[in-house]
């Protein structure tokens, strides 16, 4: 399991921020295409618009991502795959939208 220092170092890495921003944009695009009757649609759409206008502090999203059990449970947090990170960002998107 990664230490808090390892996780915060990863969250502060420019490469990690770039990857998170990519998957955040992907989640925002999916949210913008959701059915308006879906749960939490208005908040998800509002966040999507902020993402599209580059008004989201990616650093905070990175901290949320590294505290997710998928990432924090890794012995080497630098080994997080794109597939894992995509899943993590998708899962935390609703929480970020509220």
Domain-wise residue ranges, the chain: 4-97
pLDDT number for residue 77: 87
Query: What is this structure's pTM?
Result: 0.94
Rounded to 10 deg, the angle between the 14-32 and 41-52 helix axes is: 130
Instruction: Give the residue-averaged pLDDT of 23-45.
Output: 96
The average pLDDT across 20-25 equals 98
pLDDT in tens, 44-90: 999 999 999 999 999 999 999 999 999 999 989 889 999 999 999 99
């Amino acid at each position: 399991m990664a230490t808090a220092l390892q996780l915060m170092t990863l969250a502060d890495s420019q490469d990690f921020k770039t990857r998170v921003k990519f998957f955040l944009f992907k989640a925002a695009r999916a949210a913008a295409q959701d059915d308006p009757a879906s749960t939490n649609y208005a908040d998800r759409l509002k966040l999507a618009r902020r993402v599209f206008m580059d008004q989201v502090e990616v650093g905070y999203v990175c901290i949320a991502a590294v505290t997710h059990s998928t990432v924090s449970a890794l012995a080497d947090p630098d080994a997080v795959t794109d597939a894992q990170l995509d899943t993590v960002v998708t899962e935390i998107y609703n929480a970020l939208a509220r």
